[in-house]
Amino acid sequence: MKSYWQKVQLTTALRIALLGIITCYATIWMTPVSATPLKFSPPPPPPDRGAVGDRGGAASRSCSVGNQSVIALVPVYEQTLKQGQTEVVTVNKVWGLTVSEHPTFWFFLPYNKSQINTIEFVLKDESIKPSQTLYRTTVKAPEIPGIVSVGLPATTSPLQAGKMYHWYFKMKGICDSQQPVQREYQEYVEGWVQRVNPNPRLANSLKQATPQQRVGLYAENGIWYDALTTLAELRLAKPQDTTLATDWTNLLNSVGLEPFLK
């Protein structure tokens, strides 16, 4: 598979596909960016069965793009849990931290606009019964395959620190747009986001850090959504910067995502 992140093709896909970015600058350590490759340090995932989801990336069952499918750009944790006295089950937890009250979510779409019927993003608070939908929106399909982002607008209720929220990204695709009766299929990914407050040392350092320093510090402290969003914004501002391009590849690769984007 060809990479969507090479030279002009990378820049074009990213510029066209980025949707609704919300700037979420934060506070991070005042340490300078080192020569060490950017790497995400994952925090311990939620205990028990919390944050079970589906990041995607498996072979698609659609009839249009072979073995690619929608992918959520978020870490995944595979955990083995006991069920009953003897049975052991393996679960995938799709989950990440943010310090933002209104974070941005990122997804990879291997489809052209003509192959997409609708895209919907939903964020829910499932800590209460019945669950409450905090945000639901229709996402504009990109013209070409690439990455799309969905930012929570400032008009929505801010995420509360310590609480987990469940998000869904659903796409309905068209198998053959030339046929009178189109066969439609659906793909979706789901995961969780949890807002945390940075500790005083981290918060104080963030105020003096540059955006590029923030990327590394978010990554070092396991704050995924802000690391990815800040780096994406830097790449939009400086599409020819090879250092940022390398950081992007290293960050995705550190959570097992880079192979899906080739």
Largest interatomic CA distance in the chain: 62
Per-residue confidence (pLDDT) for residue 62, from 0 to 100: 54
Rounded (5°) CA angle 197-72-35: 65
What phi and psi values does residue 113 have, to the nearest 5 degrees?
Answer: -60, -35
pLDDT surpassing 90 at residue 36: no
> Parallel, antiparallel, or unpaired: how do β-strands 184-195 and 132-138 relate?
unpaired
Quote the strand ranges of 175-218, DSSP E.
184-195
Contact in structure between 189 and 139 (CB atoms under 8 Å)? no
Q: What's the one-letter identity of residue 10?
A: L
pLDDT surpassing 70 at residue 31: no
Burial class (CB in 10 A: 0-12, 13-18, 19+), 240: exposed
Burial class (CB in 10 A: 0-12, 13-18, 19+), 144: middle
The label of the residue with tokens 């969507």 reads 4
pTM: 0.82
Q: For residue 191, what are its two tokens?
A: 């995961």
Residues 6+ apart with CB under 8 A from 149: 18, 19, 20, 21, 104, 105, 106, 107, 229, 232
DSSP state of 70: -
pLDDT in tens, 105-120: 999 999 999 989 999 9
pLDDT surpassing 80 at residue 10: no
Cis peptide before 180 (omega within 30 of 0): no
pLDDT surpassing 80 at residue 12: no
The label of the residue with tokens 């639901």 reads 136
What is the C-alpha separation between 99 and 75, in angstroms, rounded?
16
User: At 4, is the pLDDT very low, low, confident or very high (cuts 50, 70, 90)?
Assistant: very low
Residues 6+ apart with CB under 8 A from 185: 61, 62, 63, 172, 173, 175
10 Å Cβ neighbour count for 107?
24
Per-residue confidence (pLDDT) for residue 57, from 0 to 100: 72
Per-residue confidence (pLDDT) for residue 177, from 0 to 100: 55
What is the C-alpha separation between 145 and 66, in angstroms, rounded?
14
pLDDT in tens, 54-106: 999 765 555 555 677 899 999 999 887 776 677 777 889 999 999 999 999 99
